[in-house]
């Protein structure tokens, strides 16, 4: 197939999923054209069958800021025509699904337009899409897409509830690359961050308010009173300054390491003993899955998509949002019991591989593409319906 993929290029889960999916599809022989403002974060090297087309948002004195939605639509038209694309797969509804709709309308007048698949990732529904200034266009673009997927049942249900959507939404969970995300080997980098007798606790996010990163510091401060530990923070975002201030105020400067945004997190995650994700909500929690695949159990928030990824009491311990006391108690209990900790590590690796393996999930996307392109069997077509 000839596939156009559009996503945000920044270090967020939706761009990462789009990049990983595109690379896996390219390995399977599909031609994948990334259409975005910059090369996506994890798409950092050239590989066969992968093409990148930048979208330049031209500014003009009249504009307050350069428009992006329209040049993106025009670039989608250009690439669809030049490479005869079968479909445009857009990740994160706003504004990508609206641009794809415009592109398809323009192309329809000229011949065979590509099909549009929109993958919903989270705040495009739960925060931004639900905002009055985006609501109607988000609902319209979802309804106009030829196929719609969501990364969890939680998100599919939220979409139906929020937008009164009646069309099918196919749930395709996020996945991990099993060749890269796996338990640590003897050359694990833990000693760079923590002493032999210290536990290494990791948090990875884009430090947006929805991640509740100050809670991470609160939980860590409580753990630190009972156990020797270091906290490794990976990522960068609007709350990083706030978190730095909090670390200083709590006198934890020597115990917290700020690593900033990192591309090859698979080389760091296996060194962790525990992963913290106390988010307000997560449609899925890709970082939790990648940690889980590396054999790192999680302590975090109950509800939303995290509960679909983590099995509470088996691969992690979940508590109501904001209950940092209970989260710290669970962390102390788990780290203080080596037998239980080991069973959580093993269960994490098993669950990741049983449920979220790249090979299986990429095949689900391929089958879904075939169905949207009306090339699949009646049996497979039924798969479109949840």
For residue 365 the two structure tokens come to 């996307």
Least distance in Å: CB of 139 to ligand GMT? 17
Contact region with ligand GMT (CB under 6 A), list: 7-15, 24-32, 77-85, 359-367: 7-15
For residue 349 the two structure tokens come to 């690796």
Q: Name which of residues 209 to 268 contact ligand GMT (CB under 6 A).
A: 210
Contact region with ligand GMT (CB under 6 A), list: 122-130, 138-146, 320-328, 371-379: 122-130
Number of residues that bind ligand GMT (CB under 6 A): 21
Q: Name which of residues 289 to 308 contact ligand GMT (CB under 6 A).
A: 305
Q: How far apart are CA 281 and CA 301, in angstroms?
A: 8
For 256, half-sphere exposure in the C-beta direction (CA atoms, 13 angstrom radius) is 26
Q: How far apart are CA 352 and CA 264, in angstroms?
A: 19
Least distance in Å: CB of 374 to ligand GMT? 27
User: Among residues 92 and 220, whose Cβ is nearest to ligand GMT?
Assistant: 92
Exposed/middle/buried for residue 327 (C-beta within 10 Å: 0-12, 13-18, 19+): buried
CA dihedral 75, 77, 82, 87 (to 10 degrees): 110
**Binding flag, residue 383, ligand GMT (CB under 6 A):** no
Of how many residues is the chain composed? 386
Q: How far apart are CA 36 and CA 92, in angstroms?
A: 12
Least distance in Å: CB of 220 to ligand GMT? 21
Binding ligand GMT (rule: CB under 6 A), the pick from 286, 334, 347, 352 is 286
> What track of x and - describes contact with ligand GMT for positions 9 through 48 (by CB under 6 A)?
---xxxx-x-------------------------------
Binding ligand GMT (rule: CB under 6 A), the pick from 283, 301, 324, 330 is 283
Q: Which of 292, 298, 299 lies closest to 329, judged by CA?
A: 299
Q: Which of 140, 123, 75 lies closest to 103, judged by CA?
A: 75
Q: Which helix (H) or strand (E) holds 366?
A: helix 358-372
Least distance in Å: CB of 327 to ligand GMT? 18
User: Among residues 104 and 121, whose Cβ is nearest to ligand GMT?
Assistant: 121
Q: How far apart are CA 190 and CA 222, in angstroms?
A: 22
User: Among residues 283 and 324, whose Cβ is nearest to ligand GMT?
Assistant: 283
**Binding flag, residue 356, ligand GMT (CB under 6 A):** no
Binding ligand GMT (rule: CB under 6 A), the pick from 36, 37, 123, 324 is 123
User: Among residues 220 and 284, whose Cβ is nearest to ligand GMT?
Assistant: 284
Contact region with ligand GMT (CB under 6 A), list: 107-115, 184-192, 276-284, 295-303: 276-284
> What track of x and - describes contact with ligand GMT for positions 187 through 216 (by CB under 6 A)?
-------------------x---x------
For residue 274 the two structure tokens come to 């525990």
Q: Which of 158, 184, 190, 186 lies closest to 171, judged by CA?
A: 158
Q: Is 304 helix (H, G, I), strand (E, B) or coil?
A: coil
Query: Hey, how many other C-beta atoms are within 10 angstroms of the C-beta on 295?
Result: 24
Which is it for the CA torsion 61, 62, 66, 71, positive or negative? negative
Q: Name which of residues 158 to 177 contact ligand GMT (CB under 6 A).
A: 174
Binding ligand GMT (rule: CB under 6 A), the pick from 121, 170, 182, 351 is 121
In contact, 175 and 261? CB cutoff 8 Å: no
Q: How far apart are CA 148 and CA 115, in angstroms?
A: 11
For residue 342 the two structure tokens come to 């080991």
Least distance in Å: CB of 228 to ligand GMT? 31
Binding ligand GMT (rule: CB under 6 A), the pick from 72, 85, 97, 151 is 151
| Helices H / strands E in the chain, number of each | 15, 13
Least distance in Å: CB of 367 to ligand GMT? 19
For ligand GMT, the binding residues (CB under 6 A) are 8, 12-15, 17, 121-124, 151, 174, 206, 210, 281-286, 305
């Amino acid at each position: 197939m000839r596939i156009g993929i559009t996503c945000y290029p920044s270090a967020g889960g939706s761009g990462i999923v789009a990049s990983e999916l595109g690379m896996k599809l390219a390995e399977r022989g599909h031609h994948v054209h990334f259409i975005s403002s910059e090369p996506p974060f994890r798409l950092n090297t050239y590989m066969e069958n992968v093409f990148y087309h930048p979208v330049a948002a031209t500014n003009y004195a009249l504009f307050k800021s350069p428009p992006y939605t329209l040049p993106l639509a025009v670039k989608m038209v250009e690439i669809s025509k030049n490479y005869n694309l079968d479909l445009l797969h857009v990740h994160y509804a706003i504004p990508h699904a609206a641009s794809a709709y415009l592109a398809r309308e323009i192309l329809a007048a000229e011949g065979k337009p590509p099909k549009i698949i929109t993958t919903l990732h989270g705040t495009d529904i739960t925060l931004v899409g639900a905002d009055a200034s985006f609501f109607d266009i988000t609902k319209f673009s979802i309804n106009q897409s030829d196929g719609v997927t969501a990364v969890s049942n939680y998100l599919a249900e939220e979409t139906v509830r929020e937008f009164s959507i009646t069309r099918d939404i196919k749930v395709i969970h996020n996945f991990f690359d099993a060749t890269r995300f796996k338990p640590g080997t003897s050359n694990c980098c833990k000693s760079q961050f923590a002493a032999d007798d210290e536990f290494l606790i990791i948090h990875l996010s884009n430090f947006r308010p929805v991640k509740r990163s100050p809670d991470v510091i609160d939980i860590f401060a409580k753990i630190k009173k009972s156990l020797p530990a270091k906290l490794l923070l990976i990522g960068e975002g609007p709350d990083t300054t706030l978190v730095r201030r909090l670390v200083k105020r709590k006198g934890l400067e020597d115990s917290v390491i700020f690593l900033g945004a990192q591309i090859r997190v698979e080389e760091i995650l296996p060194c962790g003993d525990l992963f913290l994700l106390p988010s307000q909500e997560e449609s899925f929690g890709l970082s939790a899955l990648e940690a889980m695949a590396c054999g790192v159990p999680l302590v975090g928030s109950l509800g939303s998509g995290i509960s679909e990824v983590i099995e509470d009491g088996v691969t992690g311990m979940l508590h109501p949002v904001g209950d940092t006391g209970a989260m710290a108690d669970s962390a102390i209990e788990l780290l203080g019991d080596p037998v239980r900790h080991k069973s959580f590590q093993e269960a994490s690796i098993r669950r990741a591989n049983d449920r979220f393996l790249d090979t299986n999930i990429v095949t689900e996307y391929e089958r879904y593409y075939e169905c949207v392109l009306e090339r699949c069997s009646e049996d497979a077509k039924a798969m479109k319906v949840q």
